[in-house]
Amino acid sequence: MEDLTAIELRERIARGEITSVAAVESVFSRIAGRDGAVGAYISTDRERAMARAAEVDRRIAAGEEVGFLGGVPVAVKDNMCTEWGATTCGSKILENFHSPYNATVVEKLIAADAIIVGKTNMDEFAMGSSTENSGLKRTVNPWDTCRVPGGSSGGSAAAVAAGFCYAALGSDTGGSIRQPASFCSVVGLKPTYGRVSRYGLVAYGSSLDQIGPLTRTVADAALVMDVIAGHDPADSTSVDEGIAGGCSYLEGIDKGVEKLRIGIVPGLTTGADESVQRAVEAALEVYKSVGAEIVEVEMPHSEYAIAAYYVIATAEASSNLARYDGVHYGYRSTGAEDYVEVYSKSRAEAFGQEVKRRIMLGTYALSSGYYDAYYLKALKVRNLIRGDFAVAFEKCDCIMMPVAPTTAFRIGEKINDPLTMYLSDVYTIAANLAGIPGMSIPCGFDHDNLPIGLQILGPTFSEGKLLRIGRMYEKETDWCRRRPSFAD
Ligand code: GLN
């Protein structure tokens, strides 16, 4: 049962061949045996999951219809609000925060009869690329436990890779779904900005944040998208484009794309590890063998993407994180003498180093006298990058490149050098700045048996096509069937 995809599992559950209770039990026994070493979950709720699974089984036995994810164990990143348990965002400041409501995506998972088994670890407030910035615990990569799982959705990627759930949700502000997916050999999709509701997602960089699936296969990602995508009146930035006609990502996933034109950006990957470059080139050969044409496109402003991102994301974070003042939410210092001290001590004691660094950077970039020089300039760069993609997509259906310049790095290797850490996102950030969808799919392993991801970017609202393109590759290869030996 552990080797099944989410789609296979839901079909067997629907046919009564496996009960949801048995699936949930088996996931929890794996978690009990191995999550002590991996550290994927911040919290799990066995009782709640078992009760819901029993309810799904009862409905199936009674001949009732169940939802798209009927009885399938899934996980959500701990920056998505749940009415039960805590929503910590990987931070000490929210360690005991109990949300009064569910995020829209959580409501949608529940409505689809998914069984949420737990909340996954992450870099504090989603700031990081290795999950090492979590204020609560460490997560390791199931492929090599000396290495990071990537981040910031490292717990979700590790949970899917290690078989602690059949699908998970992550959030991606600058690469946080795609990069951990690549490091852990799972599929990760960052949808178009606005495609999935952010209501109930703890905000980091609100103009960049987007929720998406981490799954074992491309088809599973399509299934989860069918559940979570769509307009939500509670999130004014969500859109109903293309959904209104009853769009299904899973339907037609096997149809492929005729006369597929794949854009590549010459020279872009010169800094990437050789093994990464080779795996991506090999993936392009697979596409050529099924009839795709490769065209060269230019991204003249991509070299400024990281700089622009770290101004815009930190500026938005400094404003979003102002609400954690020891009064409204979460941790309050006990040593404060007056209200100013309540603010400063609570924040000083409970925010981690990276979060403080970013609040300071963002506050600086927004301060009078610097606003034009940094923030406004970054917004202009953002527009230029958006324009680069618009021009490129006139010539091609999608652009392919690596997800990250390296495979999973060693724990501790980059944590004391924030700039090197920021460079992990060199290929992923542009998609967030432009608001376009991007997907990471497993495309091989390096000489240390560490996973490599292929990134596929498309124009806004092209996730249906991206999924079909990803599926074309998946059908030709068997990377997605490989599991870490740790998970056996
Ligand atoms: N690694 C990037 C950062 O630290 C992106 C994080 C994310 O996408 N949440 O900001």
Give, for 169, the enclosing helix (H) or strand (E): strand 167-172
- Ligand 1: residues whose CB is within 6 Å? 126-129, 152, 172-176, 204, 313, 425
Which pLDDT score is estimated for 244? 45
Structure tokens at 253: 């996933």
Rounded distance from Cα 264 to ligand 1 centre (Å): 24
The phi-psi region of residue 124 (left if phi > 0; otherwise alpha if psi is between -120 and 50; otherwise beta) is beta
Rounded distance from Cα 424 to ligand 1 centre (Å): 9
What number of other Cβ atoms are within 10 A of residue 458's Cβ? 25
Answer whether residue 40 is part of any domain. yes
pLDDT digits (tens, 9 = 90+) for 287-311: 999 999 999 999 999 999 999 999 9
Of 91, 134, 152, best ligand 1 pocket probe by most atoms within 8 Å of the beta carbon: 152
Answer whether residue 119 is part of any domain. yes
Q: What is the mean pLDDT of residues 90-102?
A: 97
Residue 326 to residue 126: CA distance in whole angstroms: 20
Rounded distance from Cα 52 to ligand 1 centre (Å): 33
Rounded distance from Cα 319 to ligand 1 centre (Å): 17
Answer whether residue 459 is part of any domain. yes
Residue 481 to residue 474: CA distance in whole angstroms: 10
Structure tokens at 30: 């794996």
Residue 457 to residue 383: CA distance in whole angstroms: 17
Q: Which residues are catalytic?
A: 77, 152, 176
Which atom of ligand 1 has the smallest separation from the CA of 205?
Answer: 9
> What b/e string do you get for 78-106 counting C-beta neighbours within 10 Å, with b at 16 or more?
bbbbbeebbbbbbbbbbbebebeebbbbb
With a CB cutoff of 8 Å and minimum separation 6, the contacts of 28 are: 44, 46, 49, 117
CA distances from 128 to 97, 124, 133, 166, 243 (A): 22, 8, 6, 25, 32
Answer whether residue 446 is part of any domain. yes
Whether pLDDT at 246 is above 60? no
Which pLDDT score is estimated for 245? 44
Instruction: Give the residue numbers spanning the domain of 254.
Output: 6-260+437-487
Coil, strand or helix at 283: helix
Identity at 338, one-letter amino acid code: D
Which atom of ligand 1 has the smallest separation from the CA of 126?
Answer: 9
Residue 263 to residue 176: CA distance in whole angstroms: 23
Residue nearest to atom 10 of ligand 1 (CA): 127
Positive or negative, the Cα torsion across 236, 433, 87, 339? Answer: negative
Q: What percent of the chain has pLDDT above 90? A: 93
Residue 85 to residue 80: CA distance in whole angstroms: 12
Of 121, 133, 202, 425, best ligand 1 pocket probe by most atoms within 8 Å of the beta carbon: 425
β-partners of residue 481 are: none
Q: What is the mean pLDDT of the chain?
A: 96
Rounded distance from Cα 313 to ligand 1 centre (Å): 9
Q: Are 390 and 299 in contact (CB under 8 A)?
A: no
Residue nearest to atom 5 of ligand 1 (CA): 174
Q: Are 292 and 262 in contact (CB under 8 A)?
A: yes
Residue 175 to residue 189: CA distance in whole angstroms: 10
pLDDT digits (tens, 9 = 90+) for 2-16: 789 999 999 999 999
Answer whether residue 126 is part of any domain. yes
Which atom of ligand 1 has the smallest separation from the CA of 151?
Answer: 1
* Count of domains observed in the chain: 1
Which atom of ligand 1 has the smallest separation from the CA of 310?
Answer: 10
Answer whether residue 300 is part of any domain. no
β-partners of residue 167 are: 74, 215
The pLDDT confidence band at residue 1, using thresholds 50, 70 and 90, is confident
Q: What's 166's DSSP letter?
A: S
Answer whether residue 158 is part of any domain. yes
Which pLDDT score is estimated for 328? 86
Answer whether residue 283 is part of any domain. no
pLDDT digits (tens, 9 = 90+) for 361-399: 999 999 988 999 999 999 999 999 999 999 999 999 999
Q: What is the CATH number of the domain that holds 143?
A: 3.90.1300.10
Whether pLDDT at 264 is above 50? yes
